[in-house]
């Protein structure tokens, strides 16, 4: 068999395992009802395979675990901060680093430093915490992603791209002075983990340079984005994921980062910038919200594990297995005729709940109902990414009605096996066979901020 046809396998072996608990259908029916049909409110011990999120759920390597033992728990100037700083310089190329407890801590700092009341902040589709921090700082988020991203069946390989015409029109309408930066997510979570192309980033750099607008990355899943560029963009097949990651960063002015995804740690994040003045302001503000600028809410050991995880995350073999596993599950679901977002993205499979449950209206929360149903079938926990996650328009108070109404099957890194993927696929297939019986939901409790985390529902 030719080398290119041979199977991939994980570039690691398993040294320690965590036992899982199996539950009965009756136990699961009770658990999901008690959780108000919100998978965020389930107890993790009632979950068999946990696909809620890829955030903070990775298995760390033996190197990372030994890194924990090298934690220098000094309040100021810990050795581990300097190791993390070195990793950020080496792999991402940014000049200044401010650690934060996780991604949203960095989003808060960036929004407070750069956004003034009345500013416009364009981005390639919203992310829940990112948009909220932009709004809390007085800004208004505007989506400038290409239209293809809102169509779950469109096969364009870079559905995360910025629509430069939409951005140009926005600049014309409001003036560049009202736009402090554009937030570019790599990959785009809410679109299904879809990547941005290097060509698009280069063109965006030219356009924003002309207008003096900064580019701030949300580089939470940058290594996954780089892998897609390597696989699908002309001129990148022979470049390493590490080289592509660094090139992406080179077209930008800074980044927020949740280390809980790509960087294979259970907690941690940072803000990284090139501009000295922004750095100084943010490294002063961080002491108000997170901690001193050399730990930002993290223990020394957490910074060490993140520094090691960053180096592991950009290895080609790691990324091949990571994306390979997600693709494997996607292929199984496609074979069974399940409507999923295509192309398969980086961090999970996104089921199109509108096509899965065409008998439900969006007001009946089809993705929320489907996530509850999959849990009841098998104990597999997934997450709603549709109307509940989208929240309400701050000005009108009405629900946002996103075109994409999705259930996310998020794959933690280095945690589950191919056999787990088979079990997951079988459960989704079983629910699909019985889809006509699935009822919608009514929201009975709605918190003010990021409602998807804590909202409660009743079956209609
Ligand atoms: N993402 C996720 O599960 C965890 C919170 S929402 C359920 O997808 C992006 C693109 C993210 C992200 C978190 C954050 C915030 C920023 N940008 O969770 O604060 O996907 O570390 O990062 C989650 P933190």
pLDDT digits (tens, 9 = 90+) for 199-214: 999 999 999 999 999 9
Q: Which atom of ligand 1 is nearest to the CA of 53?
A: 3
Active site residue 385: yes
Q: How far is the CA of 104 from the centre of ligand 1 (A)?
A: 8
Residue 450 domain boundaries: 3-54+316-459
Identify the CA nearest to 192 among candidates 351, 363, 339. Answer: 351
Give residue 6's pLDDT: 79
Catalytic residue among 53, 128, 129, 376, which? 128
- Which run of H or E residues covers position 96? strand 96-100
Q: How far is the CA of 257 from the centre of ligand 1 (A)?
A: 9
Are 88 and 22 found together in one domain? no
How many distinct structural domains can be found in the chain?
2
Active site residue 54: no
Global pTM value:
0.96
Active site residue 261: yes
Task: Supply the CATH number for residue 371's domain.
Answer: 3.90.1150.10
Question: Among residues 313, 342, 368, which one ends one of the domains?
Answer: 313
Instruction: For ligand 1, atom 7, name the residue with the nearest CA.
Output: 53
Active site residue 332: no
CA–CA distance, 143 with 145 (Å, rounded to integer): 6
Give residue 395's pLDDT: 87
Are 304 and 342 found together in one domain? no
Residue positions counted in the chain:
460
Question: Among residues 294, 313, 332, which one ends one of the domains?
Answer: 313
Are 88 and 41 found together in one domain? no
Which DSSP string corresponds to 369-383? HHHHHHHHHHSEE-E
Q: Which atom of ligand 1 is nearest to the CA of 189?
A: 10
Give residue 57's pLDDT: 98
Phi-psi region of 294 (alpha: psi -120 to 50; beta: other; left: phi over 0): alpha
Which DSSP string corresponds to 248-265? HHHTSSEEEEETTSTT--
What are the pLDDT digits (tens) for 54-102? 999 999 999 999 999 999 999 999 999 999 999 999 999 999 999 999 9
Contact 86, 307 (CB under 8 A): yes
Question: What are the beta bridge partners of residue 185?
Answer: 218
Are 246 and 325 found together in one domain? no
Instruction: For ligand 1, atom 1, name the residue with the nearest CA.
Output: 55
CA–CA distance, 67 with 206 (Å, rounded to integer): 41
Are 31 and 117 found together in one domain? no
CA–CA distance, 433 with 424 (Å, rounded to integer): 14
What ranges make up the beta strands (E) of 274-370?
348-352
CA–CA distance, 183 with 120 (Å, rounded to integer): 11
User: Of 103, 185, 216, 452, which is best to mutate to test ligand 1, by the most ligand atoms within 8 angstroms of its C-beta?
Assistant: 103
Q: Which residues of the chain have pLDDT under 70?
A: 1-4
| CB neighbours of residue 250 within 10 Å | 13
Q: Which atom of ligand 1 is nearest to the CA of 187?
A: 10
- Which run of H or E residues covers position 141? strand 140-143
User: In angstroms, how far is the first alpha carbon of the chain from the final one?
Assistant: 54
Question: Among residues 267, 298, 313, which one ends one of the domains?
Answer: 313
Q: Which residues line ligand 1 (CB under 6 A)?
A: 53, 55, 102-104, 127-130, 185, 189, 218, 220, 258, 260, 269
User: Of 101, 124, 127, 188, which is best to mutate to test ligand 1, by the most ligand atoms within 8 angstroms of its C-beta?
Assistant: 127
Contact 107, 133 (CB under 8 A): yes
Instruction: For ligand 1, atom 24, name the residue with the nearest CA.
Output: 103
Identify the CA nearest to 383 among candidates 307, 308, 453. Answer: 453
What are the pLDDT digits (tens) for 167-195? 999 999 999 999 999 999 999 999 999 99
Question: What are the beta bridge partners of residue 458?
Answer: 442
Active site residue 401: no
Task: Supply the CATH number for residue 71's domain.
Answer: 3.40.640.10
In sequence order, the 6+-apart residues with CB closer than 8 A to the CB of 60 are: 264, 265, 266, 305, 309
> For residue 422, what are its two tokens?
């088979």
Coil/strand/helix, residue 448? coil
CA–CA distance, 45 with 400 (Å, rounded to integer): 33
């Amino acid at each position: 068999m030719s080398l290119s046809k041979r199977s991939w396998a994980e570039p690691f072996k398993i040294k320690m395992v965590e036992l899982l608990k199996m539950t009965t259908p009756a136990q699961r029916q009770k658990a999901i009802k008690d959780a108000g049909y919100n998978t965020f409110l389930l107890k993790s011990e009632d979950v068999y395979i946990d696909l809620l999120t890829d955030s903070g759920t990775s298995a760390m390597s033996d190197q990372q675990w030994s890194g924990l033992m090298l934690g220098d728990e000094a309040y100021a100037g810990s050795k581990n901060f300097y190791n993390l700083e070195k990793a950020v310089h080496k792999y991402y190329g940014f000049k200044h680093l401010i650690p934060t407890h996780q991604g949203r801590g960095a989003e808060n700092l960036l929004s407070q430093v750069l956004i003034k009341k009345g500013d416009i902040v364009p981005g390639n589709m919203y992310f829940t915490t990112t948009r909220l921090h932009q709004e809390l700082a007085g800004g208004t988020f505007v989506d400038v992603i290409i239209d293809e991203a809102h169509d779950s069946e469109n096969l364009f390989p870079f559905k995360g791209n910025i629509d430069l015409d939409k951005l140009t029109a926005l600049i014309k309408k409001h003036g560049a002075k009202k736009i402090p930066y554009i937030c570019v997510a790599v990959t785009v979570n809410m679109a299904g983990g879809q990547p941005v192309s290097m060509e698009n980033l280069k063109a965006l750099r030219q356009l924003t340079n002309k207008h003096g607008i900064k580019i701030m990355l949300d580089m939470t899943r940058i290594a996954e984005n780089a892998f897609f560029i390597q696989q699908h963009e002309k001129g990148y097949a022979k470049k390493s994921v590490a080289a592509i990651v660094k090139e992406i960063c080179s077209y930008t002015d800074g980044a927020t980062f949740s280390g809980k995804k790509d960087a294979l740690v259970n907690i941690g994040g940072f803000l990284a910038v090139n501009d000295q003045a922004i750095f100084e302001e943010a490294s002063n503000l961080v002491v108000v919200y997170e901690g001193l600028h050399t730990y930002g809410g993290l223990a020394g050991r957490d910074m060490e594990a993140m520094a090691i995880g960053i180096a592991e995350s950009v290895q080609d073999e790691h990324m091949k297995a990571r994306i390979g596993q997600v693709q494997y599950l996607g292929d199984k679901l496609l074979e069974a005729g399940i409507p999923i977002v295509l192309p398969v993205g980086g961090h999970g499979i996104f089921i199109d709940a509108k096509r899965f449950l065409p008998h439900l209206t969006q007001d009946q929360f089809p993705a929320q109902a489907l996530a509850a149903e999959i849990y009841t079938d098998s104990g597999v926990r997934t997450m709603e990414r549709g109307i509940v996650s989208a929240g309400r328009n701050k000005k009108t108070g009405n629900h946002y009605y996103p075109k994409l109404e999705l259930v996310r099957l998020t794959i933690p890194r280095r945690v589950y096996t191919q056999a787990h993927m088979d079990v997951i696929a079988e459960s989704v297939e079983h629910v699909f066979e019985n889809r006509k019986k699935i009822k919608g939901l009514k929201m009975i409790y709605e918190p003010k901020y990021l409602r998807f985390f804590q909202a409660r529902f009743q079956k209609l």
